Amino acid sequence: MAGWGYSLNKDRQIDFDANDRSVYFRVIGLEPSLGKCISCGSCSATCSSAVFTDLDIRKIFVLLSRGELRDLKKHLDDCMLCGKCILVCPRGVNTRNVILTIRKELEY
Amino acid sequence: MEERIAIIGGGIAGLETASQLSKKGFDVVVLEKKQITGGHVEQWHQVFPDFRDASEVLKNWNQHEISGQIKIGIDITNINKTNGLFQIELRDGEQITANAVVIASGFDLFDAHKKEEYGYGIYDNVITSAELESFFNRKREYLIKSGKTPQRIGIIHCVGSRDEKVGNPYCSKVCCITGVKQAIELKEIYPQAEVFCFYMDLRMFGLNYEDIYKEAQEKYGIQFIRGRLSETSELQDGTVLLKVEDTLAGKPLKLSVDLVVLLVGMVKGSVNNELKKWLGIELDLFGFIKPPDAILQPNVTNVPGVFLAGACSSPKNIGDTVNDARSAVLAVEKYFNHLKG
């Protein structure tokens, strides 16, 4: 088969019905302030780590709520837990604790 | 005072205009097309932002406050302005003479059939926000036709609003908060159900709207997915598959729901074209009645003696409509004071 130059693209659609959203429900149960997130991106904008890595806190929260867990763990490793994101959040989400809780729930 | 004011429309704009003009001593006649006054509000269950019963809001306008008549079941066939007097001809042959006319004929709801890709009128479990209100009102037994208790409900924002495809590029103003209100009401009936709102922006401009939005997230767990619905398809079990782009995740998303609620926007009143023909008033690009100066004289038209109140000139919520009606009363009063010199 080698050398034909054809390949299959991976499905990148979010299949909401098939995804496992239990981690999201456990995290929001332990840190309910996550429910107030309005995805404004203040956290991602102020993130020191995001300047050098793919860490995007806003997007991590979105992907978690959709049950898209594939890349979460990798990106969460880039967080330095400095807490700047908590200081800028306009909705009072305890962003650092959300990240710590996701890490725990994903069995770090 | 001898002046007689004809008010076209017996919704909240017409009733408030009539009530305030009565207090000032004008003789008013309200002409309502339907057999009942109260307009669209008469159809609603609870109103935002305080979740008060719509019927309780309507109690504010009791007929005894209005000196003059409220005529229901009226079909206007023509209006003539001659020598500063308006002659209003009715289908039954009656003629009403008035010194001024206040148009309070309101808006129509967007016809969801026009967004055929959403499946309204094609799939059983796609309904409009207006139909959901009547479900709330009538406490019907089943929301889903099969009798199933809904496990997942999708609420679709901006249906017939901000959409050039259907000719309505404007924002209808009230649907965002209506969607959040209805999501909360659904969660109160079906606490186990998951409710999703699909939106482009959430325009929570009014008093307490943002608080209700936050409460919807925090207390009721309603989920907001930023992405405009592209299309629906019905699955074999009667559920409806929604396809959106999850624009916050940057990926396409599919999700099946038991019920789709389309938040239908406001469109021009169907009578506006006739009013234009009879009275010579101007309409804007979208068919709403156009005041020559929408900022400083929102209740005055290009025809002396013809005034505007409520959503006939642009989408408005209940509070805005009541304020606009009071503003129209001031404009009417100013007009007659000016005539008297």
Residue range B110-161, pLDDT digits in tens: 999 999 999 999 999 999 999 999 999 986 667 888 889 999 999 999 999 9
Decide if A40 touches B, using CB distance below 8 A.
no
Q: What is the average pLDDT across A75-97? A: 95
Please tell me the predicted confidence (pLDDT) of residue B129.
97
**Across the interface, do B246 and A12 touch by the CB < 8 Å criterion?**
no
CB atoms within 10 A of CB B166: 17
Please tell me the predicted confidence (pLDDT) of residue B63.
65
Distance set, CA B218 to CA A30, A91, B331 (Å): 13, 11, 44
Q: Give yes or no for residue B179 having a pLDDT over 90.
A: yes
Please tell me the predicted confidence (pLDDT) of residue B117.
97
Beta bridge partners of A52: none
Please tell me the predicted confidence (pLDDT) of residue B73.
96
Name every chain B residue with its beta carbon within 8 A of the beta carbon of A68: 249, 251
Share of chain A above pLDDT 90, in %: 79
Please tell me the predicted confidence (pLDDT) of residue A2.
65
B277-292 CB burial, b ≥16 within 10 A, e <16:
ebbebeeeebbbbbbe
Q: Give yes or no for residue B16 having a pLDDT over 80.
A: yes
Please tell me the predicted confidence (pLDDT) of residue B105.
98
Q: What is the average pLDDT across B19-47? A: 95
List for chain A the helix, strand, coil content (%; round to 5).
50, 0, 50
* ipTM, two decimals: 0.91
The region of weakest confidence among A66-75, A91-100, B6-15 is A66-75
Q: Give yes or no for residue A56 having a pLDDT over 80.
A: yes
Beta bridge partners of B31: B8, B71
Please tell me the predicted confidence (pLDDT) of residue B45.
96
Beta bridge partners of B70: B30
Taking Cα atoms as reference points, which of B235, B179, B230, B232 lies closest to residue B209?
B179
Taking Cα atoms as reference points, which of B95, B108, B109, B105 lies closest to residue B10?
B105
* Residue B237: both structure tokens together: 């079990």
Grouping H, G, I as helix, E, B as strand and the rest as coil, residue B199 is strand
Domain borders along chain A are 42-105
Residue range B257-275, pLDDT digits in tens: 999 999 999 999 999 999 9
Please tell me the predicted confidence (pLDDT) of residue B265.
97
Please tell me the predicted confidence (pLDDT) of residue B62.
75
Residue range B52-78, pLDDT digits in tens: 999 999 999 876 677 789 999 999 999
Q: What is the mean pLDDT of chain B?
A: 95
Name every chain B residue with its beta carbon within 8 A of the beta carbon of A39: 226, 248
Rounded CA-CA distance A30/A10 in Å is 33
Q: Which amino acid is at B124?
A: D
Q: Is the pTM of this model over 0.80?
A: yes
The residue to which tokens 């999850």 are assigned = B246
Rounded CA-CA distance B231/B115 in Å is 9
Residue range A1-43, pLDDT digits in tens: 567 888 888 889 999 999 999 999 999 999 999 999 999 999 9
Confidence of residue B29 (pLDDT cuts 50, 70, 90): very high
- Pairing, β B100-103 against β B4-8: parallel
Q: What is the average pLDDT across A61-68? A: 95
Q: Is B268:B283 a contact under the CB 8 Å cutoff? A: yes
> Could you tell me which residues of chain B have a Cβ less than 8 Å from any Cβ in chain A?
214, 217-218, 221, 223, 226, 246, 248-256
Of B217, B218, B246, nearest to A66 by CB-CB distance is B246
Please tell me the predicted confidence (pLDDT) of residue A6.
85
Rounded CA-CA distance A41/B111 in Å is 36
Rounded CA-CA distance A94/A107 in Å is 20
Interface probe for A, chosen from B212, B240, B254 (most Cβ of A below 10 Å), is B254
Please tell me the predicted confidence (pLDDT) of residue B340.
86
Residue range B280-331, pLDDT digits in tens: 999 999 999 999 999 999 999 999 999 999 999 999 999 999 999 999 999 9
**Across the interface, do B251 and A16 touch by the CB < 8 Å criterion?**
no
Q: Give yes or no for residue A108 having a pLDDT over 80.
A: no
The Cα of B104 is separated from the nearest Cα of chain A by a number of Å equal to 38
